[in-house]
Copies of this chain bind each other. A is one copy, B any other.
Amino acid sequence: MRQSSLFGRTLREAPADAQTPGHRLMLRAAIARPLASGLYTWLPLGFRVAQKVEQIIREEMDRIGCQEMEMPVLTPAELWKSTGRWDLLEPITFRTRDHNGREFMVSYTHEEAVHSHAMSEIQSYKQMPLMVYHFQSKGRDEARPRAGLLRVREFVMKDAYSFDIDQAGLERSYKAQHGAYERIFKRMGLDAISVESDTGAMGGDIAHEFQVLTDVGEDRVVVCPKCDYRANMERATRMGDVPIREEGAAPRSEIATPSTTSIEALQTMLSLSADRLLKTLLLRDASGSVVAVVLPGDRDVNEAKLRKLLGTSEVKFANDADFAAAGSVPGYIGPVGLRVRTVIDTSVDERAYVAGANKKDAHLRSVVRGRDFTGEAVDVHDVREGDVCPRCKDGKLRIVRGVEVGNIFAYGTYYSDKMNATFLAEDGTRKPFVGGSYGIGVGRSVQSIVETHHDDRGILWPIAVAPYQVHVIALPSNDETVRAAADALVADLERAGIEVLYDDRDETAGVKFADADLIGIPFRATVSKRTLKEDQVELKPRSASEAEFVPRATATERIAAAVRRALA
C-alpha cells in the first residue's frame, strides 16, 4: 500500500479531549476516527487490525466447532418482550419504529434471537452440543462515551452461543469457550486474565470476564497475589475475619449527637474509628420495595451484590416518606427498632457499635447485633485492598484497574424457560436448552492492545495484529534511484507474501520516521541515498533502539525471515 494515497492522515497532536494514551494514539495514527460521539469509523489501517483480530477469533471459534452465522442488527420488540428485557434494557439501548408502528431494537446482544432460531433448527438432543457465533454491530446508548473505543455507542462484537442438553454439557461448552478465549487474547498479544464476574442482565450464575489490567480501565478487579483468585468488584468476596464477639457489652444508651449526620462527623465527635460505628442505608428497589442495609462504618455497600440479592435492576436511596414509614429520619437511621426489612452485612460483628437512634440529633451507644437488632445475614460489601483472599485464605487481596475485553456467561435455562425453547430429549420428553453466551468486543480489544503496547513515540503493534508487517521508507522519494530501489524492494517483499506499507510521500526523513514510529509497524526498512551507496537497506524493528544494515541482494530474504520469526 502506498502511503501517498492512504485514506487516513496522521496527526501531530491528538484532540484535547482524547482521554487515554491508547485513545490519543488511535486518533494520531489514523486507526479510527469518530463520526459522532461514541460512533467510530475504522480507517483503512485500523480496519486491517480489526480484521486480523476478527480472524484470530474466527480461527479459535472454528477450532472448538463453533459455527459462524449472521443475525441482523435490528431485532423485533416481541422477542425481547418474551424475556422481559425490552423494558430492562430500555435505558441503555436504541429503539426504532417502522412506518407501521412496529418496534425494533438496535440489538444489544442476541440471546433472544439465537434462541428463536434454535427452536426451529434444533429439534433433537442428537443435534447437541452445538455452538454458533457471529460478528455483528451492537448498539449501546452510553450516556457518556469514553476514551475512544473503550466505551462506545456502536461496536462489533463476536458473540457465541452454546446449546446443550444439560448442565454437564453446558459446563463442557463453557470450558471450551474459556480455553478459546485464553488462546485468542494471547494470540492478539493481550495479557487478559480471567476474572469471576457477576451475570447482571444476562441471567444465570456462572460468569467470567477477561480483563486486561491497565490503569486506563474503568473496572476494578480483585486479585490475590498468592493464588489464582481473580474476581471483579461486583463479585469479589473475602475470607471473613474471625468474628469479634464482645461478651457482656453494656446495655445500649442514647447519646446526643446534634447535626451529626455522617459517619465522618460521628467519628470526629466521638473519637472512634469507623469500624466501631454502624452505617445503615435505607434503599428502594425498582419495584418500590424498601430495605435497610447495615454495615460497619468502614465498609462500602456493593451495589451489584445488593441488586442481585434484591432481584432488581436498580437501587436508589429511599425518600423521606420511606424513612417515616420505617420509623426513622435521614441522617440518624440505625437498625434498632426499625420497621422495615433489614439485611445485615456479614462484616458486622457481634460487638458494641454506635448506631443511629432513628430520631433527630441522637445516636445509640453499645448496640449489639442479635441482642439489640436482628436481620438476614448477607454479603453485600465491597472487598478492599488488604482483605484476605477467600480462596487461599492467605494472600492479601489487591485491587487493580482493568478493561473488560471479553465475557462469558453460563446462563443455563434462563432464556429457554422464558421463551419455552425446548428440544426433544432422549427420554421422549421436551426439555429446555441449557445455554451460555460468549462475547468479545473487537474495537475494545484493538484499543486495549494499543493501551498496553506503546511508547512515547507511538504504537508497538504485536505482529499478529499489525496493520502491515513492514514499513518501507524511501528517502527521498523524489530521487529516482532511491525510488526505483524502494519500488523494487516493495515488489519483492509483496511477492514473498509480506504485507508492506510503503512511504512514498514527498516528506522529510523527520516526518517519515516520526510517522513510522507513530503507526508502529513492527519492522521498518529504509532505502536512502546513504544506504544505496553501500548497496544496503536499513532494517529496524520498531521495538529496537538500533538499526542494522543488510545487503540489498538478500534484504527481502532477511526481512521475510525476520517477519516469519516474529509471527511464529
Task: State the Cβ distance, A564 to closest chain B Cβ, in Å.
Answer: 21
Q: How far is the CA of A51 from the CA of B104 in the complex (A)?
A: 26
Contact B73 A35, beta carbon cutoff 8 Å: no
Task: State the Cβ distance, A7 to closest chain B Cβ, in Å.
Answer: 5
Contact B72 A122, beta carbon cutoff 8 Å: no
Q: Which of A50, A94, A126 has the most CB of B within 10 A?
A: A94
List residues of chain B with CB within 8 A of the CB of A30.
121
List residues of chain B with CB within 8 A of the CB of A121.
7-9, 30, 33, 43
Complex: chain B residue closest to A163, CB-CB: B7
List residues of chain B with CB within 8 A of the CB of A141.
98-99
Q: Is A36 an interface residue (CB 8 A)?
A: yes
Among A63-71, A206-214, A292-300, A538-546, the stretch that binds chain B is: A63-71
List residues of chain B with CB within 8 A of the CB of A122.
7
Contact B4 A73, beta carbon cutoff 8 Å: no
Q: How far is the CA of A42 from the CA of B99 in the complex (A)?
A: 25
Complex: chain B residue closest to A152, CB-CB: B72
List residues of chain B with CB within 8 A of the CB of A36.
75-76, 104
Contact A41 B69, beta carbon cutoff 8 Å: yes
Complex: chain B residue closest to A141, CB-CB: B98
Q: Is A393 an interface residue (CB 8 A)?
A: no
Contact A7 B132, beta carbon cutoff 8 Å: yes
Contact A73 B113, beta carbon cutoff 8 Å: no
Category for how many chain A residues contact B? 35 or more
Say which residue of B44, B70, B96, B106 sits within 8 Å of A50 (CB atoms).
B70
Task: State the Cβ distance, A154 to closest chain B Cβ, in Å.
Answer: 5
Contacting residues of chain A (102-146) with chain B, CB-CB under 8 angstroms: 104, 106, 113, 116-117, 120-123, 126-130, 132, 134, 137, 139, 141, 143
Q: Is A24 an interface residue (CB 8 A)?
A: no
Complex: chain B residue closest to A91, CB-CB: B99
Say which residue of B5, B67, B69, B73 sits within 8 Å of A137 (CB atoms).
B73
List residues of chain B with CB within 8 A of the CB of A235.
none
List residues of chain B with CB within 8 A of the CB of A5.
65, 127-130
List residues of chain B with CB within 8 A of the CB of A127.
4-5
Q: List 30 A-B contacts (CB under 8 A).
A: A4-B127, A5-B65, A5-B130, A7-B69, A7-B122, A7-B132, A8-B121, A9-B120, A9-B123, A35-B72, A35-B116, A36-B76, A39-B74, A39-B76, A42-B70, A43-B69, A43-B121, A47-B70, A50-B70, A73-B73, A73-B139, A73-B154, A74-B106, A74-B153, A94-B104, A95-B96, A98-B141, A99-B141, A126-B506, A137-B137
